[in-house]
Structure 1
Amino acid sequence: MPNNNKELILSAPLSGPVLTLAHVPDAVFASGAMGDGIAIDPLNDTLYAPCDGEVIHVARTGHAVTLRADNGAELLLHLGLDTVELQGDGFSMLVKEGARVSNGQALLRYDVDSVAQRCKSLVSLLIITNGEHFQARPITLKGVKVGEPLLHIVAKRPGEIRGNDADMDIEVFGQIRIAHRGGLHARPAALVRQTAQGFKSRSHLHFGGRSASCDSVMGLMGLAINEQAQVHVSCRGSDAEAALQALLATLSTAAAENDHAHAPPVKAPSRAAEDGVLQGVCAAPGLVAGPLVRLDGLQLPDDDGGHDIEEQRQRLRQALEHVSGDIRLTLENAKARRHDNEQAIFSAHLALLEDPALLDAAYVSIDQGDAATHAWSRSIDAQCQVLRQLGSPLLAERANDLRDLRQRVLRALLGEAWQFEVPAGAIVAAQELTPSDLLHLSAQGVAGVCMAEGGATSHVAILARGKGVPCLVALGDALLAQAPGQSVVLDADGGRLELAPTAERLTQVQQAQARRAALRAQQQSLAHAPARTIDGVGIEIAANVASSAEAGQAVANGADGVGLLRTEFLFVDRRTAPDEQEQCQAYQAVLDAMGEKPVIIRTIDVGGDKQLDYLPLPAEANPVLGLRGIRLALVHPELLDQQLRALLQTRPLHRCRILLPMVTEVDELLHIRQRLDALVAELDLSERPQLGVMIEVPAAALLAEQLAEHADFLSIGTNDLSQYTLAMDRDHAGLAARVDALHPALLLLIAQTCAGAAKHGRWVGVCGALASDPLATPVLIGLGVRELSVSPPQVGEIKDRVRHLDAGQCRRVSTDLLNLASAAAVRQACHQHWPLG
C-alpha cells in the first residue's frame, strides 16, 4: 500500500502565470468537481512531471496524463481546455502507462500555435483526483518556471476526512417527496451523491424501513424509491443543517430528465405470430435494411483461485483507474458538445465505478483468493441481481449500466482493446448492448441495433435516440438464433425485425432511405436560394461563426450572412490584448469570406466564465450576474474604443453591423452610440455601420420598444435569455433539461421584443440555440422574427423548413401558444401544428 502520510512538494510542470481553479474558464474544473488543484497558463511547449511517481493513465488523445505520487496522491495533468476535441492532433505523448517517471521528466509535448488556435484555452490543470485523502496548499500564485515549487500536498488527518467530524453529535432530519422522473435511479442517485460529497457530514436516505448512505449510488438505487415517494433524510456532523437543506433541494428540484420527455411511445410487442418477423419494442425510431451482425459479450475462463492477493488488488486498482480516466474523457467530450444526456449517463457510470458497495465486494473476493477479473465480475453480478429483484422495470434496466462497467473493467484487466469491428450499414444483434457499445457502434456507422433484452427507457435507448440510430429491444432469445450475414429489415417504428424480407421489401426500404438522403441533398441544393414562406414572407437565414474559416463554411452552406461573429476568439488565451491592426485584419477576413453578404460582429463579451489574463477582474460570488459584456466595456472603455476603431476600418463598411452584448438599459446603448458617432467623426467617415442590441436579459426584452428607438436592429440570444428568465443555470447537470427556450415565459419576451421593434420599423433576429431548432422555426416566425442565425450545416434544413410554412398561420397559432403552461405543452402543440419530417 502507498504511504500517504508523507508530505510532498510538487514542482511546476509548466512555465507561466499561476491561476487558482476558481479563475479557470471551465465550469467543471472551476467548481472543483474534478478535484482540488492549481492551473497554469503555459508559456512553454512541454509538460514535465511534478514529482517522482508512476504513470497510471494516458489519455488516448494525448492531452492528459495521470500520475500516482509515491505518497499515494493521484495527479491529473491536463493540457488545455476542451483539447480532447483535437483527437491528439498537435500532441506527442512521451511516456506510457505503467512507466516510472522522475521529477522533471518530460511527459508530453505539444504544438503551441496549432493547439492554441483550435482549443478553448491553453490553461492547463494539475488536479488531485483522490482529494478525499489529501489537501493542496499553493506555494505561489505568481508566475513560475518549470521545476519551481508550486504545491504543497499534505495527507488529511482522520478528523479532516469527510464523515470523521469531531462534532458528530449534531444530527438533523428532514423529509421530502421524490420529484425525479422514474424515482431514484442511477442518474438522480449520482446527483444526490455529488451533493452529499460537498459536505463533511454523513448523510443517509431512509425509505420503507431501510436506509442507505448517500455516498453509495448502488445503496440509493437499492432502496427502490419511486417517483413521488416520501423519503426521510438524516445528516450527522458539524455542517449537518447545510447538508440537509442541499439534499432536500436536490431531491425535490433537480428532477426533470430526458429519459421520458424525449422517449418515443413504447409499443408493446404484438402477440400474434407472424412468420419471418420478430416483434419487439421501439427504443429509437427509424426504418433501415442491412446485413445482420451478431455481437457477443466478453466471456471469462474458469478460475482455479489461489492468486497473490496484493497483486490482484493492484491489478484491479489499475484497471479501475484506467476506466475512470476513459470515462472522464468521455464526459469532457460530451460536455464540449453539449450532449447533456450523454454527460448525465456517464457521470452516473463514474459514480458507480467509485461505489463502495461494488468495490468492497470485489476486494473481499480477492482476499478470498479470486482473480481480479472474476472478483469484479461477481461483484457486478451480485448488484445486478439486487436491482432485478426490486420489482422495478426501470431499475432492472439500470443493471445494464453495471454490465457496461463490468465489460470495460474486464477489458482493462485482460489488456484487450475493443474487440469488434462492425461494417458500416450493418444491423447489430446482441443479448443486450451497453452505453459504451452504442457509442462505439454509432461511430462505426451501423444502420441499426436490436437486442433480445433491454427497455425503451434504458440509457442505451436514450443514446440511440440522440445518435439517430434505430433501435429495437425485447425481441427475445429467438434473435440470438438468427444466422449472421442475412439481410434483414429493422422497422423500429413498427416494432418489427423482418428476418426474410423479399427483394421488393428491401427495395422499398432502400427507396425510403434514398428519399431521406435525397431530401437532405435537395435542401443543400436549394440552400443558396432565399427562404420565403408560402405566403411570401422573406426570412434571412444567417450563420453563427467564430472565425474567417467558419465564415467560409457558412458561405458554402448557403448562409445569407453572418448573424453572429463572436470576437472573443481574438482576446482569450493570450498575454496581451490584440492591437487595432490585428483586430481589423481578423474582421476584414470574415467580411471578405462572406462576399457581398452582411456580417454582424458582436463586441467583446468577456467576464462571467470568460476571463482575460491581461485584464484581471475581481472575484465575484456569481460572475454570470457580474461584470460581463457591455458592463465590462463601460468599465474598461479603452478595450471597446480600440475594437470600435478596428471595426470602422473594415470595408465596405455598410456590410459591417455592430452588436452590443448584455445591454440592460437604454443609457448603455446611448453611451456606446455617442462614442461610435464620435469615432466616425474622428476618422472622417461618411457612414456609420448599423448598431444593434442583443436581447439576452429580461430587462432588455421588456424595454425593447425604447431600445429599438435608438438601435438599428435587435438580436435575441435565447441561451442567456433562457437561464436569466428561468433562474436556472444552463450548465447545471440537474437542471439542464429544464432550460427550454420554448417555455411560454420566453415566448412572451420574444413576442414583446418583436412588437417593440416593429413600432420603430426595426427587424429582429435570433442567434441563440433556439434558431437552430426546426420545431421552433414556425413559432419564431409567428412572433415576428425575421432573421435566424444557425450553425452553418443547418442552413439548408432551416431554409427548407421556412419554405413549407405559412406566416399567417404561424402568427395565429403562435399567439395561442403564449397561453400554454409549459415548454412541454408548447413542444407538443408545435408537433401537432407543424410536424417534422
Structure 2
Amino acid sequence: MPNNNNPLTLSAPLSGPVLALNSVPDEVFASGAMGDGIAIDPLNDCLHAPCDGVIIHVARTGHALTIRADNGAEVLMHVGIDTVELNGEGFALLAKDGARVSEGQPLVQFDLDRIARQCKSLVSLIILTNSDRFELQPIASKTVKLGESLMRIALRTSAPVQTAVDNSVTQVSATVRITHRGGLHARPAALIRKTAQGFSSQSQLHFGDKTAACDSLIGLMGLGIGEGDEVRVTSRGKDCEAALQALVAALSVTIQEEQHAPVIATPRRANTEANVLQGVCAAPGLVCGPLFRMTGIELPQDSGNHSVDEQLQRLDAALEQVRGEIRNTLDQARQRKNVEEEEIFAAHLALLEDPALLDAATATIEQGSAATHAWRDAIQAQCAVLLALGKPLFAERANDLRDLQQRVLRALLGEAWHFELPAGAIVSAHELTPSDLLQLSAQQAAGICMAEGGATSHVAILARGKGLPCLVALGSEVLDVPQGQRVVLDASNGRLELAPSEARHAEVHQTRETQKQRRQQQQTQARQPALTTDGVTVEVAANVASSAEAQMAFDNGADGVGLLRTEFLFVDRRTAPDEQEQRQAYQAVLDAMGDKSVIIRTIDVGGDKQLDYLPLPVEANPVLGLRGIRMAQVRPELLDQQLRALLQVSPLARCRILLPMVSEVDELLQIRQRLDELCVELELTQRPELGVMIEVPAAALMAEQLAKHADFLSIGTNDLSQYTLAMDRDHAGLAARVDALHPALLRLIAQTCAGAAKHGRWVGVCGALASDPLATPVLVGLGVSELSVSAPQIGEIKDRVRHLDAAQCRQLSLELLDLSSAKAVRQACQHHWPLS
C-alpha cells in the first residue's frame, strides 16, 4: 500500500458553503471525537473522491465511506447528519469497498430532497480520522465548488507532550456487580450495546473465562451473566475513560423486567382435575372459544451448491425487509407512547444488526448453504447457547431470536404472515413470538395459550399491554388438543379447561357480557357531567395534540381540552410555523370542541426535545436545561409569535393559555405583562385566562404565590414525578419506579391545591396519573377539580367519579400522605376504593 508521507491537498467532494467542524449540529462530530475536519452544506447530489486512494470502508447504508490516500491519511466522508436512519434509501453507491479511485471520481449519488425532509441536517462531513498522525490546514473559507482546493493534509512533525502516549491503545478496566433483574438478558444488553456505540473506543465484557464485545447483543447475552454476578469491563481507545464510566453506570442500573404490577408466576402443577391443563398466568382474563393451533415454518433439506453472491444478496434483502417492518412497529409504538413495546422491538432491531449472528449466517452461505438454512442454523446455534445457560430468563430471550428466524425466513420465502383465525379463536402454540402476538391481536384473537414460555417473556408483556388473556407453560399436552375444540381459558387462575360444560360456557359469557355492558354504559353516559355522590363536580377533559384528536375527545364526551400540546406544529419540519399557520391550527381545535373550553400549552421544547431550526447548546442534563418557559427567555420572538396567534382565535373566552416549566413567580409575571401588551397592540378588550403548569417541585412549593397571579394551575404529574424522585421517566431501568402515587408527590399535589384554594383558583391534573382510575379518588380528595385524560378513558373516569363520596375521599386521602411508598398507597387505594 502506498504511504509516501507527502503533503496532500484535498479537492472539494461537494459544492456548497463551508462550515467549521464545531458548528456542525452533531455533538460527536462537532467535538472532534471522530477526528479533525471540515463540513460542507451540499448544493449538488453526488459525492466525489477528494484525492487518489483506496476505499477502505463503506457504510452498509451507503451514507458514508472512508478513503486511504496515498500518503496514509484516512479521510471519512459522511453525507448528512443521522442519515444512517434512512437505511440506504436515497443513496446509490458508485464505487465498491476496496476499489482504487481517482480524484474527482463519483462515489455516492444521493437524494438531496429526501435527506432534507427526513434527516436532521444536510451538512456533510470530511473528517481526517487519523488526526493523531496528520494535521489539517483548511484552504477554502466560505463557499467551495466541486473540485476546488478544500484543505491541505500533512504529516505531523511533532506532537504535544501529552500525546506522547498513543491514546488509541490506552486501556482501562473496572469491575462491577450486575444489578439488572434477571441478569444481562435482551433489554439490558441492548442498553449496554447502545452505550458502547456512543464511543469510538472498543469495549468488552469479561465473565469467568468468557469475553464478549459490548456492541454485540448476542455476545453479551451468551455470557450468561445473572443478577448479582461480578464482571470486568475493559475499554481501549481515545475516549476509553468516558466509555468505561458510561458502561459501568449502564451495568449498574436496575432494569425492571416489568413496568407495571408484576405477574405472580407459580410453577406449573401436575394436573389435579380431569380435562384441565394447569399453567402460569402471563396476562389475566377469562374467555371461551375454539382452539386454533399455530405452527412455525419448517424447511426441506438443503440441496447445497448455491451461488454465494446470490444467497448473500437474498439474505441482505430479507434482513432489510424485516428491519423496515420492525421500524414501522417502532414508529407506531412511539406514537402510542408504548414504551414496553418500543423497547422490545428496539432490541429485535439491534439483534438484526448483531455481528455474531450475521457473521455466522454469512460463513454458512459461503460454505454453499441456502440463505434460508444458513439463517435458521445461525439462529438455532445462538438459541442453543442461551438455552445451555440453564436460566429461565435467557431461555425466554431465545424466543426473540426465534421470532427473527421466522420473520426473515418468511421474507426469504416470499410468504406473508398467513394464518386466518376463526372468530373468537383461542390460539395455541409451542411458543409464540412477539411479532406473532401483534398479528394475532390485530386479527382479534380472544386469548393465547402456549406449551412453553414464561410470565416475564416479551410475548407476556405485549399480551398484557393488549389486554389479551395469556397462559404459558402448559406443557406439550396443549398441542394435542384437537383443532377447533371449544375451551375455556381462565388465565387469571392459570387454567385451560378442555371440556367445559354448557353451564360453564354460559357463566363465562355472562361475566364477559357484564363487563362489556358496563363499558358500553360508561360510554353512553360519557357526555353527562361527572358528579360525586355528594354533589361535587369534577371536570373530565382530554389531552390532545391535534384537531383530529380534539374531535375524538369531543365525540368521547370530553368536558373540554385540558392540555393541547402545541409541539405537534413545530416538530418534524425545517422551519418554524408562521403566525397564520399556528392561528389556523389552534382555531381548528377550538372548532372541534363545540362550546367547550380549550387549554393550550405554549411550546415546550428545548433540552431533550430539539428542533432542527432552533439551535440550542448541547446540554449535559437536558431535562434540567433550557425547557419550556426558560427557552422563551432565550428565544422570546418564538413565544411572541405563538401568543399573537393564540390571541386571534375566536371566541377568545374559550381559549386558556398554559405556561410550562415555570419555577418562580417572576417568570409568570413577565409573560403576563407581555400578554397584556400584545392585547393592547391587537386592540383586545379581554385577556384569555393564563395558567401555570406545576411540573417542578419549586412550583408546587410556591403554588400559593403563583395562584395569586395565575388564573388556574395544572399539575403535570409525569415531569413532577421525575423531578421530585430524581429519576428520569424515560430511563429504561428506572421508569417502573417513577410512580406519581408516591407519598412525596401526593404531598406536593395537596400543597398545590391548598395554595390555589387560598386565592379561589382551581387545580387540574393533566399528567398520566389523571388517567389512572385507582388514583381518581385520591386526586378528588386532595382538591383537584379537573382531570385531563386520554380520550378513550373519559367514560371510565367519569363513571369512577360518580361512584365516589368526595367527603370520604378527602378524609382518606389525607391519611395516605403518611404512608411509606407508592406501593403502600396503591394497596390502600385498592382497599378503600376497589376497582371492580
Q: Give your verdict on TM over 0.5.
A: yes
State the distance in 2 between where 1:127 and 1:324 align: 26
Residues 430, 451 of structure 2: 8 Å contact kept: yes
Q: Following TM superposition, by how much is the alpha carbon of 1:204 offset from its aligned partner in structure 2, in angstroms?
A: 2.9
State the distance in 2 between where 1:770 and 1:247 align: 33
Amino acid at match of 1:811: R
Q: Which moved more, 1:330-339 or 1:279-288?
A: 330-339
CA gap of 1:524–1:148, structure 2 versus 1, over 3 A, is farther
State the distance in 2 between where 1:74 and 1:387 align: 39
Consecutive unaligned residues of structure 2, counting only runs of 5 or more, are 1-9, 32-37, 50-59, 68-75, 97-105, 152-164
Match of 1:392? 391
Deviations 1:6-35 (A, max 9, x none): x999879x99x99999869xx99999xxxx
State the distance in 2 between where 1:310 and 1:419 align: 30
1:701 aligns with 2:695: no
Match of 2:357? 358
CA gap of 1:530–1:312, structure 2 versus 1, over 3 A, is same
State the distance in 1 between where 2:795 and 2:512 align: 19
Amino acid at match of 1:395: F
Q: Which moved more, 1:372-381 or 1:395-404?
A: 372-381
CA gap of 1:28–1:540, structure 2 versus 1, over 3 A, is farther
State the distance in 2 between where 1:540 and 1:765 align: 9
Secondary structure of the structure 2 residue equivalent to 1:450: strand
Deviations 1:123-144 (A, max 9, x none): 567899xx9x999x99999999
State the distance in 1 between where 2:29 and 2:406 align: 29
Q: Following TM superposition, by how much is the alpha carbon of 1:437 offset from its aligned partner in structure 2, in angstroms?
A: 0.8
State the distance in 1 between where 2:563 and 2:533 align: 27
CA gap of 1:276–1:781, structure 2 versus 1, over 3 A, is same
Q: Following TM superposition, by how much is the alpha carbon of 1:763 offset from its aligned partner in structure 2, in angstroms?
A: 1.1
Deviations 1:202-229 (A, max 9, x none): 3333334543332333332233222223
State the distance in 2 between where 1:419 and 1:233 align: 45
CA gap of 1:693–1:388, structure 2 versus 1, over 3 A, is same
State the distance in 1 between where 2:434 and 2:688 align: 51
State the distance in 1 between where 2:807 and 2:130 align: 64
Q: Following TM superposition, by how much is the alpha carbon of 1:617 offset from its aligned partner in structure 2, in angstroms?
A: 4.4
Residues 67, 74 of structure 1: 8 Å contact kept: no
Match of 1:179? 179
Residues 41, 122 of structure 2: 8 Å contact kept: no
1:529 aligns with 2:535: no
State the distance in 1 between where 2:317 and 2:654 align: 58
Secondary structure of the structure 2 residue equivalent to 1:710: coil
Q: Following TM superposition, by how much is the alpha carbon of 1:481 offset from its aligned partner in structure 2, in angstroms?
A: 1.5
Secondary structure of the structure 2 residue equivalent to 1:278: strand
State the distance in 1 between where 2:580 and 2:467 align: 46
Secondary structure of the structure 2 residue equivalent to 1:835: coil
State the distance in 1 between where 2:520 and 2:144 align: 54
1:234 aligns with 2:210: no
TM-score normalised per structure 2: 0.80
Deviations 1:417-475 (A, max 9, x none): 22323244211111110111111111111111111111111111111111111111112
1:593 aligns with 2:627: no
Match of 1:192? 192
Amino acid at match of 1:391: G
Q: Following TM superposition, by how much is the alpha carbon of 1:753 offset from its aligned partner in structure 2, in angstroms?
A: 1.3
Q: Following TM superposition, by how much is the alpha carbon of 1:675 offset from its aligned partner in structure 2, in angstroms?
A: 3.1
Match of 2:217? 217
State the distance in 1 between where 2:542 and 2:141 align: 41
Secondary structure of the structure 2 residue equivalent to 1:507: helix
Amino acid at match of 1:236: R
CA gap of 1:793–1:139, structure 2 versus 1, over 3 A, is farther
Q: Following TM superposition, by how much is the alpha carbon of 1:533 offset from its aligned partner in structure 2, in angstroms?
A: 2.1
Amino acid at match of 2:374: A
State the distance in 2 between where 1:502 and 1:51 align: 76
Residues 65, 77 of structure 2: 8 Å contact kept: no
Secondary structure of the structure 2 residue equivalent to 1:259: coil
Residues 95, 108 of structure 1: 8 Å contact kept: no
Match of 2:777? 778
Amino acid at match of 1:204: Q
Consecutive unaligned residues of structure 1, counting only runs of 5 or more, are 1-6, 32-37, 53-64, 85-92, 113-120, 153-164
Determine which structure has more spread, i.e. the larger CA radius of gyration: 2
Q: Following TM superposition, by how much is the alpha carbon of 1:599 offset from its aligned partner in structure 2, in angstroms?
A: 1.9
Q: Following TM superposition, by how much is the alpha carbon of 1:582 offset from its aligned partner in structure 2, in angstroms?
A: 5.0
Q: Following TM superposition, by how much is the alpha carbon of 1:543 offset from its aligned partner in structure 2, in angstroms?
A: 1.2
Secondary structure of the structure 1 residue equivalent to 2:515: helix
Amino acid at match of 1:226: G
CA gap of 1:315–1:821, structure 2 versus 1, over 3 A, is farther
Amino acid at match of 2:442: A
Secondary structure of the structure 2 residue equivalent to 1:422: coil
Secondary structure of the structure 1 residue equivalent to 2:492: coil
RMSD: 4.7
Q: Describe how 1:154-173 pairs up with structure 2 within 5 A.
A: 167=167, 170-173=170-173
Match of 1:494? 493
State the distance in 2 between where 1:139 and 1:331 align: 44
CA gap of 1:317–1:656, structure 2 versus 1, over 3 A, is closer
Q: Following TM superposition, by how much is the alpha carbon of 1:49 offset from its aligned partner in structure 2, in angstroms?
A: 9.0
Q: Which moved more, 1:771-780 or 1:557-566?
A: 771-780
Amino acid at match of 1:692: G
Amino acid at match of 1:467: K
Q: Following TM superposition, by how much is the alpha carbon of 1:519 offset from its aligned partner in structure 2, in angstroms?
A: 1.4
Match of 1:118? none
CA gap of 1:597–1:460, structure 2 versus 1, over 3 A, is same
Q: Following TM superposition, by how much is the alpha carbon of 1:379 offset from its aligned partner in structure 2, in angstroms?
A: 2.2
Match of 2:787? 788
CA gap of 1:304–1:587, structure 2 versus 1, over 3 A, is closer
CA gap of 1:713–1:28, structure 2 versus 1, over 3 A, is farther
Q: Following TM superposition, by how much is the alpha carbon of 1:298 offset from its aligned partner in structure 2, in angstroms?
A: 0.3
Residues 82, 332 of structure 1: 8 Å contact kept: no
Q: Following TM superposition, by how much is the alpha carbon of 1:416 offset from its aligned partner in structure 2, in angstroms?
A: 2.0
Amino acid at match of 2:215: D
1:629 aligns with 2:628: yes
Match of 1:368? 367
Q: Following TM superposition, by how much is the alpha carbon of 1:761 offset from its aligned partner in structure 2, in angstroms?
A: 1.9
Residues 14, 40 of structure 2: 8 Å contact kept: no
Q: Describe how 1:111-190 pairs up with structure 2 within 5 A.
A: 167=167, 170-190=170-190
Q: Which moved more, 1:173-182 or 1:592-601?
A: 592-601
Residues 340, 736 of structure 1: 8 Å contact kept: no
Residues 168, 238 of structure 1: 8 Å contact kept: yes
State the distance in 2 between where 1:78 and 1:724 align: 32
Q: Following TM superposition, by how much is the alpha carbon of 1:41 offset from its aligned partner in structure 2, in angstroms?
A: 13
Amino acid at match of 1:192: I
Secondary structure of the structure 2 residue equivalent to 1:304: coil
Residues 281, 494 of structure 2: 8 Å contact kept: yes
Q: Following TM superposition, by how much is the alpha carbon of 1:494 offset from its aligned partner in structure 2, in angstroms?
A: 1.8
State the distance in 2 between where 1:273 and 1:710 align: 68
Q: Following TM superposition, by how much is the alpha carbon of 1:345 offset from its aligned partner in structure 2, in angstroms?
A: 1.4
Match of 1:160? none
1:665 aligns with 2:664: yes
State the distance in 1 between where 2:142 and 2:324 align: 30
CA gap of 1:621–1:191, structure 2 versus 1, over 3 A, is closer
Q: Following TM superposition, by how much is the alpha carbon of 1:607 offset from its aligned partner in structure 2, in angstroms?
A: 3.1
Q: Which moved more, 1:407-416 or 1:319-328?
A: 319-328
Q: Following TM superposition, by how much is the alpha carbon of 1:50 offset from its aligned partner in structure 2, in angstroms?
A: 7.9
State the distance in 2 between where 1:629 and 1:291 align: 53
Match of 1:402? 401
Amino acid at match of 1:217: L
Secondary structure of the structure 1 residue equivalent to 2:788: strand
Q: Following TM superposition, by how much is the alpha carbon of 1:107 offset from its aligned partner in structure 2, in angstroms?
A: 11
CA gap of 1:334–1:555, structure 2 versus 1, over 3 A, is closer
Q: Following TM superposition, by how much is the alpha carbon of 1:786 offset from its aligned partner in structure 2, in angstroms?
A: 1.2
Secondary structure of the structure 2 residue equivalent to 1:729: coil
Q: Which moved more, 1:619-628 or 1:413-422?
A: 619-628
Residues 774, 801 of structure 1: 8 Å contact kept: yes
Q: Following TM superposition, by how much is the alpha carbon of 1:77 offset from its aligned partner in structure 2, in angstroms?
A: 10
Q: Following TM superposition, by how much is the alpha carbon of 1:188 offset from its aligned partner in structure 2, in angstroms?
A: 0.8
State the distance in 2 between where 1:804 and 1:455 align: 38
State the distance in 2 between where 1:388 and 1:353 align: 20
Q: Following TM superposition, by how much is the alpha carbon of 1:789 offset from its aligned partner in structure 2, in angstroms?
A: 0.8
Q: Following TM superposition, by how much is the alpha carbon of 1:287 offset from its aligned partner in structure 2, in angstroms?
A: 0.8
Deviations 1:329-378 (A, max 9, x none): 32233223221111221222223333333333333333433322222222
Amino acid at match of 1:343: E
Q: How many residues align?
A: 773
Q: Following TM superposition, by how much is the alpha carbon of 1:291 offset from its aligned partner in structure 2, in angstroms?
A: 1.7
State the distance in 1 between where 2:209 and 2:229 align: 13
Amino acid at match of 1:494: N
Q: Which moved more, 1:643-652 or 1:802-811?
A: 643-652
Deviations 1:766-819 (A, max 9, x none): 112221222222222222211111122221111112122233333344334334
